[in-house]
Amino acid sequence: MLQEPFYGECNRFALDAVRQHPNQLSAAAYLDSWKQTAQQDLAWILEQEEFCGIKLECSDMSGLCGIHPDARLDDPQLDWLWTEISDEKSTLTLDLGAIGARSYQTTATRKIAETWDQLHLVIAHLAQPRPAVDSSNMARQAWYEQLDLSKLPNVWFDTAALPAYVAPEPYPFPTAGRYLKMAIDHMGPQKMLFGTDTPGLLMHANYPQLLQSFQEHIGFLSLEDQRQILSQNVKKAYRMSDQMLAPAEP
């Protein structure tokens, strides 16, 4: 579970859910790294062994770059944060927002991943492909540039929310499938994690529909590559054991 802070931070709610369903759920904690209490907040998060990672929702519209307009991930004042997350062998998840937004900080993210090369880093939403990648060379280049971070050994991408970026296109979201194939052709399947963004995507499709359409979109891959995307890559990215939650199988 990854939090979208429409209602603010919900760490204790997520923690309670994981404790009640430890074999079905895992969760990353939400952190505002520019908040005055960020160090204390992180200390509490790292004490909770159930959290598999820490998410920074950086997007302009509903995230930290909207709250803190001058926020930069490469700010040296955040070096302590990347060091602590890396030392604790936790995983950092970043929602970097839309292509062209202030939050779309590819260069800063690369610097973090290269400097803290033991830090596992997951970028949400497959770097947010939208119709602009078809109509704008600049947007497509920016998207591919962010996908290129997958070539680093410690960076992965999840695929949540792709149907939302092609709305109002209906199920089974063929344009989302095309963007997914473009990404696979560019970066391969080894660094890609299945995701849906449920319940936020319920205005577009239910969970079975999101799973089925995704499986159809990756049907051109071998069964082993499909298995990696659907259930195995996430274990590497979030350092999960085989006994922990495994998502869908092909």
Give 22-34 as a DSSP string: TTT--EEEE--TT
Structure confidence by residue, pLDDT tens digits, 94-150:
999 999 999 999 999 999 999 999 999 999 999 999 999 999 999 999 999 999 999
- What pTM does this model have? 0.95
Structure confidence at residue 7 as a pLDDT band (50, 70, 90):
confident
CB 34 within 8 A of CB 71: yes
Is residue 106 a part of any domain in this protein?
A: yes
Report CA torsion sign: 209, 210, 213, 214: negative
Q: By percentage, how much of the chain surpasses pLDDT 90?
A: 93
Mean pLDDT of 171-179: 98
Is residue 243 a part of any domain in this protein?
A: no
Residue 31 structural domain: 5-237
Considering its fold, how many domains does the chain have in total? 1
pLDDT of residue 191: 98
For the CA atoms of 173, 61, 57, 72, what is the dihedral angle to 10 degrees? 130
CB 85 within 8 A of CB 119: yes
Q: By percentage, how much of the chain surpasses pLDDT 70?
A: 96
pLDDT of residue 250: 63
Structure confidence at residue 249 as a pLDDT band (50, 70, 90):
low
Is residue 247 a part of any domain in this protein?
A: no
Structure confidence by residue, pLDDT tens digits, 13-69:
999 999 999 999 999 999 999 999 999 999 999 999 999 999 999 999 889 999 999
Structure confidence at residue 246 as a pLDDT band (50, 70, 90):
very low
The rounded distance, in Å, linking the Cα atoms of 14 and 91 is: 16
Mean pLDDT of 190-208: 97
Is residue 70 a part of any domain in this protein?
A: yes
CB 90 within 8 A of CB 54: yes
For the CA atoms of 80, 55, 138, 167, what is the dihedral angle to 10 degrees? -170
Nearest to 28 by CA among 215, 225, 195: 195
- Mean pLDDT estimate for the chain: 96
Is residue 246 a part of any domain in this protein?
A: no
Is residue 245 a part of any domain in this protein?
A: no
Is residue 128 a part of any domain in this protein?
A: yes
Mean pLDDT of 182-193: 98
CATH number of the domain within which 108 lies: 3.20.20.140
Structure confidence by residue, pLDDT tens digits, 206-223:
999 999 999 999 999 999
Is residue 250 a part of any domain in this protein?
A: no
